[in-house]
Amino acid sequence: MYCLQFSTLLFLFLSTTKAQSRDDSLDLDENILSDVHRILQKRSILDNVALDDPRAECRNGGIYAGGICHCIKGQTGDKCEHFECVHGLSVGFRFDPESLLFSEPCICEVGWKGEMCDYRPAEKCGNKGEWKGDRCECVGSYFGSECQYTSKCVEGFLRNGRCICDVGFEGDYCDEIVCVYGSPDFKNRTLSCDCPDKYTGRRCEQCKKHGPLIEPFPHCELDPSKKKHIEKAAEHRQKVKKGIRNRLRIIAICVAALSVVAFVAFMGRCMHKNATTAKQLRNMKDTAERHRLLTNHVRLQKFEETVAQECSENTEAARIEERHRRKSEPAVLKLGIRKEKIKLETKGPVPRKDTK
């Protein structure tokens, strides 16, 4: 009967291991061997114990044999009343799944979990997730039974759930730059390094200065053997700078003088132009005034001539009229006398009034 139970149990464990990944197979094999050893030990104890022995007071499945209790895995104590809490305190016989205070067999220390306080949640999942129930809940781009794989790769390429980093990068995501000199630049949030003064490049892998007088990387400093050439070059550079400054001063003085001359000429021209304009205005006013006076004089002369002519014409007409009047005056007088005579003749003699 025991052989049949052992065979069945071994078959179940072997069938379970085939469904697991290669990373989990070693742990499962060790657990299987441990369980098999425990079963065999329990069988040997059962063979040597009397079931009706009154001293068999072992709890939690323990077996009394040889004067002591042989506890099953996970139990300890003289009567197997305690739990084998790895990092915690056993509640002992007070354990009750329905209790408010002692519903767990162990009271774990800070940072430890599990029925036997035998694992850290972070370590259980490789510090890449949290152990909840019987599996890991991975964070970020991690996945797998222990969050051992990743689906993200920044500077590299993925292979079998692992990120193979390019040269100069590291980390699970290959998102950490390896600076040859200096330190990563976290302020800009870019994969670059904050380099010392004499280095440059993404990883500070180049010299900031280049030239025949600069030593190659990683020294990137002036060659001491060429110091004299550097001093001569510095002196020559100072002379050139001094000459350039003197030339610039001369050019500035010339430009200032030309500016003053141009300003004076411009102001003189403006003043001359204003004076000429004023003179022209005065001449125009004088010409207009003379023209007006001349026009008035001509008009006055014409008026006087017209008046004189009219006066002469009137005088001549008066003379002619007077002459004509004088000539016609005797005839009119004679005609009047004749008319009077005719009237008298037609009326007869005028009666005389009595003068009595």
Predicted pLDDT of residue 346: 67
Question: Is residue 220 situated within a structural domain?
Answer: yes
Average pLDDT value for the chain? 78
- Contact criterion met (CB below 8 Å) for 195 and 203: no
Higher pLDDT, 42 or 290: 290
* Lowest-confidence pick of 14-18, 33-37, 66-70, 238-242: 14-18
User: Mean pLDDT throughout 60-88?
Assistant: 87
297-341 tens-digit pLDDT: 888 888 888 888 888 878 877 888 777 777 766 665 666 666 676
267's enclosing H/E stretch is: helix 227-347
Residue 132 has pLDDT above 90, yes or no: no
| Tokens found for residue 20 | 């697991």
Predicted pLDDT of residue 15: 42
Predicted pLDDT of residue 53: 54
- Contact criterion met (CB below 8 Å) for 190 and 203: no
Q: Which of 236, 251, 285 is the last residue of a domain?
A: 236
Q: Which of 219, 236, 253 is the last residue of a domain?
A: 236
76-110 tens-digit pLDDT: 888 888 888 989 999 988 888 888 888 888 999 98
User: Mean pLDDT throughout 100-129?
Assistant: 83
Question: Is residue 211 situated within a structural domain?
Answer: yes
Helix/strand/coil (H/E/C) assignment for every residue in 175-213? CEECCCCCEECCCCCCCCEECCCCEECCCCCEECCCCCC
Map residue 69 onto helix, strand or coil. Answer: strand
User: Mean pLDDT throughout 142-155?
Assistant: 91
Predicted pLDDT of residue 152: 93
CA distances from 28 to 31, 60, 76, 143, 275 (A): 5, 25, 24, 20, 116
Higher pLDDT, 1 or 344: 344
Predicted pLDDT of residue 297: 85
Residue 260 has pLDDT above 90, yes or no: yes
- Contact criterion met (CB below 8 Å) for 277 and 285: no
What is the share, in percent, of the chain residues with pLDDT greater than 90? 21
CA–CA separation, 85 and 73 (whole Å): 11
Number of domains in the chain: 2
Question: Is residue 53 situated within a structural domain?
Answer: yes
Residue 185 has pLDDT above 90, yes or no: no
Predicted pLDDT of residue 261: 93
* Lowest-confidence pick of 21-30, 60-69, 177-186, 347-356: 21-30
| Tokens found for residue 262 | 């141009």
User: Mean pLDDT throughout 53-60?
Assistant: 68
Predicted pLDDT of residue 310: 82
Question: Is residue 102 situated within a structural domain?
Answer: yes
Question: Is residue 94 situated within a structural domain?
Answer: yes
Higher pLDDT, 289 or 45: 289
Q: Which of 119, 148, 171 is the last residue of a domain?
A: 119
Cβ-proximal residues to 262 (8 Å cutoff; 6+ apart), any chain? none
Domain that holds residue 201: 179-236
191-202 tens-digit pLDDT: 889 999 999 999
Residue 29 has pLDDT above 90, yes or no: no
CATH number reported for the structural domain that contains residue 108 in this entry: 2.10.25
Quote the pTM value: 0.36
pLDDT confidence bin for 6, thresholds 50/70/90: very low
Predicted pLDDT of residue 343: 67
Question: Is residue 247 situated within a structural domain?
Answer: no
Higher pLDDT, 254 or 308: 254
Question: Is residue 255 situated within a structural domain?
Answer: no
pLDDT confidence bin for 356, thresholds 50/70/90: very low
pLDDT confidence bin for 130, thresholds 50/70/90: confident
| Tokens found for residue 283 | 């001449």
pLDDT confidence bin for 20, thresholds 50/70/90: very low
Q: Are strands 176-177 and 169-170 parallel, antiparallel or unpaired?
A: antiparallel
